[in-house]
């Protein structure tokens, strides 16, 4: 019974994060549900400092770009300490998003958030969402390029392309640090030993550029 109660409690905490902070645009609610030593992981978003202020900065980045942003929880699974939330994000691009014009386009994308909760607060979370789909709906990537993008991602995952230089990944002092774009080198498929997820994260920007400029 206690385990069931704990699972219910962290669902309530998670829903407060989605509803009060994101949907109601109440950043002050973060003071109640985000731990002071909170650690944020989202390779698809601009980096932010750890802690409550960092989380507020993360939320503000998207609320400024999409003022009517709404996150709808589709499903949740919890073990009493960690909770996985599958969600759908909808909104309109009417705000500032660096490098992207303001066309007023609507979007709908899916994603997941894994959160570790202690003493009633988020202490760490990991986010993963459909960035490519968002870029397509905002007009950054042509809709007809979807097939070519998938092919290029598959090629990247197989090691056909470039990977980060080995020296750039040897950073024990900051294990979350990622190599910069100019720290890459071309390799043959057989010598690419990095995981698919890392390949996608490191080269998504290059992929989007090549998709827009490649001939049909």
152-180: average pLDDT: 48
Q: Tell how strand 34-41 and strand 121-129 pair up.
A: parallel
Domains of the chain: 2-130 (3.10.450.50), 143-213 (no CATH)
Q: What is the pLDDT of residue 55?
A: 98
Q: What is the pLDDT of residue 164?
A: 45
* pLDDT greater at residue 97 or residue 153: 97
What DSSP line would sit under the chain, residue for residue? -HHHHHHHHHHHHHHHIIIIIIIS--GGGHHHHEEEEEEEE-TTS----SSHHHHHHHHHHHHHH-TT-EEEEEEEEE-SSEEEEEEEEEEE--S-BTTB-----EEEEEEEEEEEEETTEEEEEEEEE-HHHHHHHTTSS-GGGHHHHHHHHHHHHTT-EEEE-HHHH--TT-TT----TTSEEEE-GGG--S-HHHHHHHHHHHHHHHHHHS--
* Residue 183 pLDDT > 90: no
- What is the SS3 assignment for 69-117? CEEEEEEEEECCCEEEEEEEEEEECCCCECCECCCCCEEEEEEEEEEEE
Least confident segment among 48-57, 77-86, 153-162, 182-191: 182-191
Q: What is the pLDDT of residue 99?
A: 76
Q: Vertex 215, ends 211 and 216: CA angle to 5°? A: 95
162-171: average pLDDT: 44
Confidence of residue 157 (pLDDT cuts 50, 70, 90): low
Confirm if 41 and 127 have CB atoms less than 8 A apart.
Answer: yes
Confirm if 101 and 72 have CB atoms less than 8 A apart.
Answer: no
Q: What is the pLDDT of residue 67?
A: 96
Q: What is the pLDDT of residue 122?
A: 98
């Amino acid at each position: 019974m206690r385990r069931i109660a704990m699972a219910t409690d962290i669902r309530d905490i998670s829903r407060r994060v989605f509803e009060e902070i994101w949907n109601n645009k109440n950043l002050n609610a973060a003071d109640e549900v985000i731990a002071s030593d909170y650690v944020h992981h989202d390779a698809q978003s601009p980096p932010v400092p750890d802690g409550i202020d960092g989380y507020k900065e993360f939320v503000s980045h998207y609320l400024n770009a999409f003022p009517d942003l709404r996150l709808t929880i589709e499903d949740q699974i919890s073990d009493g300490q960690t909770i996985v939330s599958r969600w759908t994000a909808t909104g309109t691009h009417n705000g500032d998003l660096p490098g992207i014009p303001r066309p007023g386009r609507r979007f709908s994308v899916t994603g997941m958030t894994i959160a570790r909760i202690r003493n009633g607060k988020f202490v760490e979370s990991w986010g993963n969402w459909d960035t490519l789909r968002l870029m397509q709906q905002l007009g950054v990537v042509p809709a007809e390029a979807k097939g070519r993008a998938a092919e290029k991602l598959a090629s990247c995952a197989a090691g056909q392309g470039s990977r980060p230089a080995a020296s750039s990944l040897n950073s024990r002092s900051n294990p979350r640090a990622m190599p910069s774009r100019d720290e890459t080198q071309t390799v043959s498929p057989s010598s690419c030993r990095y995981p698919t997820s890392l390949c996608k994260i490191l080269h998504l920007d290059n992929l989007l550029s090549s998709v827009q400029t490649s001939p049909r």
